[in-house]
Amino acid sequence: MSGPVHQRSLPRRDFVLLPLISLLTALLLAGSAELIARTFWQEHFDFSCTYRDAAGETRHKANCTEHSKNTEGPWITYEFNDCGYRNPEPCGAKPPSTVRIALIGTSVALGAYTPYSDLVSTRAQAPLAKLWNSSVEFQNLGEVGPPFAELYGLSDEVIALQPDLVIFLVMPYDLKRFDDGLQVPQEQAPDLLGYLRNLQDRLRSSRAAEVAMSHLLEQENFALNTYMKSADAMDITRVPVSEHLEQQFVKLSCLIGKIKTRLQKARVPLLVFPIPNRKEAAFLCRHICNASIDGAVFTRRAGEICRKQNVDFIDVAPALSRVERAEQLYYPLDGHLNSKGNRFLAEQLVAYFRDHALTTSAGQN
């Protein structure tokens, strides 16, 4: 007859060693993932050409070059001309028989994280020259001038360039710039996309976390589920739009009106180019529109503002709705347009002028 079975207990030291081994293993795996991510997904931001002048306005140093790279994109060279604009053509007197176009706006106008060869201006230059039977030159004033809410203050500098047209590129995230220095009200609805962005901010030093989140948002099902569930006070796709967003649209209307008024005195036409964000694009191309979601809110409202102000604008929503997986025109996590996105905008700009004449002293209509 066998005696009672006694279970052996772990030595006391194992209660310390086993958790310690587990912790060290986790740290080793995390460290390896971080090392791999930093090796293959480099990130570098060079702002050596950017400064603020005595008036507090953002400027780029004349004839300056800087190199930057975000986690999701290639190395980008930013070259600025003699006025600190992102184009090789000098900013002096307009050459004869040339259509000069000035681009204004924030990073979308600058072409952040996009090679110069793929910018809206670069891609549209030759087709427009052929269309107008004239030389075409762009002066890219993206991210130049006063804060966004006071961008109309850039008008005198723009007018001095003697442009035949000014294009104002604007995206939904620009609406947040009206709140610079202010606290934006938050709703209680869960915001998964906002959570991911907050996590990105908190783990900014972790390249592996950024890469993981970027790859997750590249996955169609994950991105759509995230976008469908996310909602906050600045969510441009939620209808009815929040009271705070309504206030932002009023401010945008005021800004466009001021820019138009200043340019009009110099007989310079203004063209507004509203561009949806990645989330809107994902909804537009899948025709997702219901009682609570609408991917065309920003372009529609911007268009309504322009009609009331008697300002020309380009509505890209119909064309974007025909692009398969249109969210791929943007960096997944960063949200800026990538090279494909810039090429798409260039196509829409050229298509617009095939149907709308540009009356200039240089262009032929």
The arithmetic mean of pLDDT across residues 272-300, rounded, is: 95
| Per-residue pLDDT, 28 | 73
Asked whether residue 75 is domain-assigned, the answer is no
196-221 per-position pLDDT tens digit:
556 555 555 687 778 778 888 999 99
Q: How far apart are CA 318 and CA 312, in angstroms?
A: 17
* pLDDT, averaged across the chain: 87
Indicate whether 36 belongs to any domain.
no
Residue 1 has pLDDT above 90, yes or no: no
| Rounded-to-integer distance, Cα 45 and Cα 141, Å | 20
Please state, in angstroms and as integers, the Cα–Cα distance from residue 35 to each residue in 40, 49, 250, following that order.
9, 30, 47
Q: What is the C-alpha separation between 355 and 365, in angstroms, rounded?
A: 11
pLDDT band at 305 (very low <50, low <70, confident <90, very high): very high
- What value does the mean pLDDT take over residues 181-202? 51
- Per-residue model confidence as pLDDT tens digits over 137-170: 999 999 998 999 999 999 999 999 999 999 999 9
| Beta bridge pairs of residue 99 | 136
pLDDT for 93: 95
Grade residue 15 by pLDDT with cuts at 50, 70 and 90.
Answer: low
CATH number at residue 291: 3.40.50.1110
Residue 80 domain-assigned? no
Model pLDDT, residue 209: 77
179/125: higher pLDDT: 125
In terms of C-beta density within 10 A (0-12 exposed, 13-18 middle, 19 or more buried), how is residue 79 classed? Answer: middle
Is 361 a member of any domain? no
**What are 317-344's pLDDT values in tens digits?**
999 999 999 999 999 999 999 999 999 9
User: In sequence order, what are the residues at sequence separation of 6 or more whose Cβ sits closer than 8 angstroms to the Cβ of residue 107?
Assistant: 142, 143, 336
Q: Residues near 226 by Cβ (< 8 Å), separated by ≥ 6? A: 192, 193, 196, 217
Is residue 364 very low, low, confident or very high in pLDDT (cuts 50, 70, 90)?
very low
Torsions phi, psi for 134 (to 5 deg)? -160, 155
Question: Does some domain include residue 199?
Answer: no
Domain count, the chain: 1
Helix/strand/coil (H, E, C) string of 49-78? Answer: CEEECCCCCEEECCCCEEEEECCCCCCEEE
User: What is the average pLDDT across 220-241?
Assistant: 86
With respect to residue 242, please indicate whether it lies within any of the assigned structural domains: yes
Q: Classify residue 35: in a domain, yes or no.
A: no
The whole domain housing 316 covers 97-184+219-355
- Angle, helix 339-355 to helix 120-132, in steps of 10 degrees: 20
Tokens of 102: 């000035």
* More confident site: 153 or 34: 153
The answer to whether residue 259 sits within a structural domain is yes
